[in-house]
Amino acid sequence: MVRYDNRYTIRLNEQVKDSLKKYCEEFRLKESEFVRHSIEKTLVSEMQNVGRKPEFPTIFQTA
């Protein structure tokens, strides 16, 4: 398991929180990893949309 020094706190409404929990339980995923990958994927996509390349190693395709 990789440990990260940085921490963000986010607020979710109850329905989103419950859906995330159920989804991760059903597919045996760790919620923190799911959220981390989702944020990274969205950030890479948004950066590409404005013509920037990520300045970090990513598992998601870059153009």
- Domain spans of the chain? 14-49
Write down the pLDDT at residue 63. Answer: 58
Write down the pLDDT at residue 60. Answer: 85
- Residue 44: Cβ within 10 Å count: 20
On the question of pLDDT at 62 being above 90, the answer is no
Write down the pLDDT at residue 25. Answer: 98
Per-residue pLDDT reduced to its tens digit, 1-56? 678 888 999 999 999 999 999 999 999 999 999 999 999 999 999 999 999 999 99
